[in-house]
Amino acid sequence: MEISLGGVTSVIKEPALCPKWQYKCIYKLRLTKNYIYKLSNLPWPLNDRYTVMKSEEFFNAETKTHTINLKNIRRDL
């Protein structure tokens, strides 16, 4: 299958497509340009889990490498 780098990143960055390609993803919402909310379906006896992540993207034109770093935002209980 041939697809452009832009095509791949557009799928990754589209929250509505999360359940189609990310394991156990129920729902994903882009809160701001760099923050994402994600709800994941966990098996019984666990409850579904949400995470808020900070997203950073980098593109290296020389190597044609697109890197996306996600860092979980800790919630103090």
State the Cα–Cα distance between residues 28 and 62, nearest whole angstrom.
Answer: 32
The torsion defined by the Cα of 44, 48, 17 and 30, in degrees rounded to 10, comes to -170
Instruction: Look up the pTM and report it.
Output: 0.74
Find out whether 37 and 50 touch, Cβ atoms under 8 Å.
yes
**Tens digit of each residue's pLDDT (9 = 90 or more) over 8-37:** 888 888 888 889 888 899 999 999 989 999
- The domains of the chain are located at 5-72
CB atoms within 10 A of CB 28: 19
Name the band, by pLDDT with cuts 50, 70 and 90, for residue 77. Answer: low
Q: Enumerate the β-bridge partners of residue 70.
A: 55
